[in-house]
Amino acid sequence: MKVLVLNCGSSTVKYKLFNMEEERVLASGLAERIGSPGSRIIHRPEGREEYILPKGLPGHHEAVEAILYIMTGPEYGVIKNAGEIEAVGHRVVHGGNYFSRSVVVNDKVLELLAECISLAPLHNPPNIIGIQACQKMMPDALQVAVFDTAFHQTMPESAFLYAVPYEMYEHHLVRKYGFHGISHQYVAGVSAGMLGVRLEDLRVITCHLGNGASLCAIRGGKSLDTTMGFTPLAGLIMGTRCGDIDPAIIQYMSEKGNMGLSEVMEVLNKKSGVLGISGISSDFRDVEKASQNGHHRSELALDMFSYSVSKAIASLIPAIGGLDALVFTAGIGENSPDIRRRICRRLEYMGIRLDEEKNLIRGEKIGISTPGSTVRVLVIPTDEERMIAGETWGMCTANPVS
Ligand code: ADP
């Protein structure tokens, strides 16, 4: 059975085609710069060289069409026709209060997704267009929506409400939603396997540290709190995002910087975080290098980032009543021994001890704590596409198409 996973971002469509029985990735790739000059598709068929196709892609619909064309073409194709794809798993960023698990898409689901647009104006519209394009081009395939927010729907009210007038929640759904749920859920599941315990018995904090960064406190396989909030701007300091700040700063920055509200929000989303402090880059590789060369503000940015993560880890422990394991994942979590060391050093008071040599390993599934550490520390490469494919496959077996 073949499952296509699609992740439609604001100007990109990432895809991966799985053969589920054989656990093989038949092809993966990316349509980029959609709607801009220079749009193209980078296609990686299994066992063959990467192929780059420059192609005018005015919108996401055309991008999905072009991806299917390449995947079924004589030269770089991996399947004979689109009918071989039995299901498509769509990553959907925001499911609002409506979705606490993956769903098979129907008209009602599309309606609810459209209602969530005001919560994720940049992300949900391309997600919806991607679903509609696939419905048109693969009418027999099951379309499944897998949400970044769904995993966090198990948070208790005390964790997801903000202390603003309750009516703002009742009438306008102002609450913490949380994001990166697909990744948090995936690595938590893998961590239980690595530790040889049941997920139901595990208290784990997963640290998804990439361009966007968030932590999730998980007990019994359920998210009980997370650091991102109403939007992905909240929580940790990130590559370009400020994370938690005093909300009064927004008005003050607007007045002092002579900026409108949307301009302030743009600064907090795109020009803050590690980029804003270092003045060098949002990419940790650049900032780490500059810090090693004695650049003070880069060192400060790394210190502030890792301090914000260790502080947040400690603050999440009450949500799960203790801590058995800490998991690092995503670009920085998987690849930066320096950041992992900085974070764990501030947690030594809890008895967390890193094995310095194992910590030097990058991008591999590995335990990096010493045998005496009170908390097991793991590095687990995330694989959101595999998680989406698995969810989609599960929905297929529960909802056979014919
Ligand atoms: P996204 O949120 O876009 O999916 P990723 O999970 O791919 O982000 O993480 C991207 C970030 O990972 C880069 O900005 C970079 O800072 C960091 N990164 C990747 N490789 C390394 C490395 N070897 N050392 C330090 N940081 C790294």
Q: How do residues 30-54 score in pLDDT, each as one tens digit?
A: 999 999 999 999 999 999 999 999 9
Domain assignment present for 289: yes
What pLDDT score was predicted for residue 133? Answer: 95
Domain of 72, CATH number, reads: 3.30.420.40
Task: Reply yes or no on whether the pLDDT at 90 is more than 60.
Answer: yes
Q: Look at residue 78 and give its three-state secondary structure.
A: coil
In the predicted model, what is the mean pLDDT of the chain?
96
Which ligand 1 atom lies nearest to the CA of residue 208?
Answer: 6
> What is the average pLDDT across 359-375?
97
Name the helix (H) or strand (E) containing 4.
strand 2-8
Residue 273: predicted pLDDT = 97
Say whether both 230 and 361 belong to one domain: yes
Same domain, 112 and 230: no
Residue 32 lies in a domain: yes
214 plus 286 within the same structural domain: yes
Q: How far is the CA of 387 from the centre of ligand 1 (A)?
A: 20
Q: Which residues contact 26 (CB under 8 A, 6 or more apart)?
A: 2, 17, 18, 19, 45, 46, 78, 79
- Give per-residue pLDDT as tens, 101-137: 999 999 999 999 999 998 888 889 999 999 999 999 9
CA atoms within a 13 Å half-sphere pointing along the CA-CB vector of 235: 31
**Within a domain: residue 402?**
no
Identify which of 304, 312, 157 has the alpha carbon closest to the alpha carbon of residue 234: 312
pLDDT at 153: 97
Q: For residue 300, name the pLDDT band (cuts at 50, 70, 90).
A: very high
275 lies in which domain range?
Answer: 195-384
Whether 133 and 262 share a structural domain:
no
Q: Which of 349, 366, 345, 348 is nearest to 357 (CA)?
A: 366
From 186, 284, 305, 380, give the residue whose CB has the most ligand 1 atoms within 8 Å, as the site to mutate. Answer: 284
The residue assigned the tokens 């494919």 is 389
122 with 200, same domain: the answer is: no
Q: Which of 140, 148, 338, 383 is catalytic?
A: 148
pLDDT attached to residue 259: 98
Residue 390 lies in a domain: no
pLDDT of residue 163: 98
Q: What is the pLDDT of residue 122?
A: 83
Q: Please say if the pLDDT value at position 221 is more than 90.
A: yes
Q: Clarify whether 148 is annotated catalytic.
A: yes
Look at residues 108, 124, 147 and tell me which one is the last residue of a structural domain.
Answer: 147
Q: Beta strands 51-54 and 142-147: pairing type?
A: unpaired
Q: What are the φ and ψ backbone dihedral angles of 56, each rounded to 5 degrees? A: -65, 120
The residue to which tokens 């192929």 are assigned: 51
Counting ligand 1 atoms within 8 A of each CB, the residue from 274, 332, 334 with the most, and so the one to mutate, is 332
Helix ranges (H only) for 166-295 are 166-172, 181-195, 248-256, 261-270, 273-278, 284-292
CA–CA distances in Å: residue 295 to residues 238, 272, 277, 287, 338: 19, 18, 12, 9, 16
Residues 355, 230 within the same domain: yes
Give yes or no for a contact between 30 and 8, defined as CB atoms under 8 angstroms apart. Answer: no
- Sign of the C-alpha dihedral, residues 82, 129, 7, 99? negative
Our mutation pick for probing the ligand 1 site, out of 209, 283, 328, 380, counting the most ligand atoms within 8 A of Cβ, is 283
Which of 131, 147, 163 is at the close of a domain? 147
| 235 plus 370 within the same structural domain | yes
170 belongs to a structural domain: no
How many Å apart are CA 379 and CA 359, to the nearest integer?
9
Q: Would you say 173 and 96 are in contact if contact means Cβ atoms under 8 Å apart? A: yes
Average pLDDT for 89-100: 95
Q: In whole angstroms, what is the distance from residue 119 CA to residue 47 CA?
A: 41
Percent of the chain at pLDDT > 70 equals 99
DSSP 84: G
Cα of 282 vs centre of ligand 1, distance in Å, is: 9
127 and 254 in one domain?
A: no
- C-alpha 354: how far from chain center: 26
Based on the domain organization, do 269 and 203 belong to the same domain?
A: yes
Q: Do 277 and 377 have their domain in common?
A: yes
Which strand ranges, in their side-by-side order, compose the sheet holding 40-45?
A: 51-54, 40-45, 24-32, 13-19, 2-8, 85-92, 142-147, 103-104
C-beta separation of 158 from 104 below 8 A: no
Structural domain contains residue 351? yes
Q: Are strands 203-209 and 213-219 parallel, antiparallel or unpaired?
A: antiparallel
Residue nearest to atom 19 of ligand 1 (CA): 331
Take atom 27 of ligand 1 and give the residue whose Cα is closest.
332
- Tell me how many domains the chain contains: 2
Atom of ligand 1 nearest to the CA of 362: 23
Verify that 306 and 211 share a domain, yes or no.
Answer: yes
pLDDT per position as a tens digit, 229-245: 999 999 999 999 999 99
Asked if 93 and 179 touch (Cβ cutoff 8 Å), the reply is: yes
What is the pTM assigned to this prediction? 0.94
Pair 141, 223 in one domain: no
DSSP 273-326: HHHHHHSS-S-HHHHHHHHHTT-HHHHHHHHHHHHHHHHHHHHHHHHHTS-SEE
Q: Identify the pLDDT of residue 86.
A: 96
Neighbours of 103 (CB within 10 A): 22
**Is the per-residue pLDDT at 397 higher than 90?**
no
Q: What's the mean pLDDT in 322-332?
A: 97
Is residue 167 domain-resident? no
Q: Which of 154, 83, 86 is nearest to 395 (CA)?
A: 86
Distance 332 CA to ligand 1 centre (A): 5
Looking from the CA of residue 239, the nearest atom of ligand 1 is 14
Is there a domain that residue 96 lies in? Answer: yes
**Can you tell me the distance from the alpha carbon of 319 to that of 216, in angstroms, rounded to the nearest whole number?**
10
pLDDT digits (tens, 9 = 90+) for 154-173: 999 999 999 999 999 999 99
Question: Confidence class of residue 384 from pLDDT cuts 50, 70 and 90?
Answer: very high
What lines the ligand 1 site, CB under 6 Å?
210-212, 239, 283-285, 288, 330-332, 335-336, 362
Of ligand 1's listed atoms, the one at least distance from the Cα of 209 is 6
Name the DSSP letter for residue 97.
Answer: T
pLDDT at 400: 61
| Strands of the 203-209 sheet, one edge to the other | 222-226, 213-219, 203-209, 325-329, 376-379, 366-367
CA of 254 to the centre of ligand 1 (A): 31
Kindly give the residue spans of alpha helices, DSSP state H, lying in 1-115: 60-72, 107-115
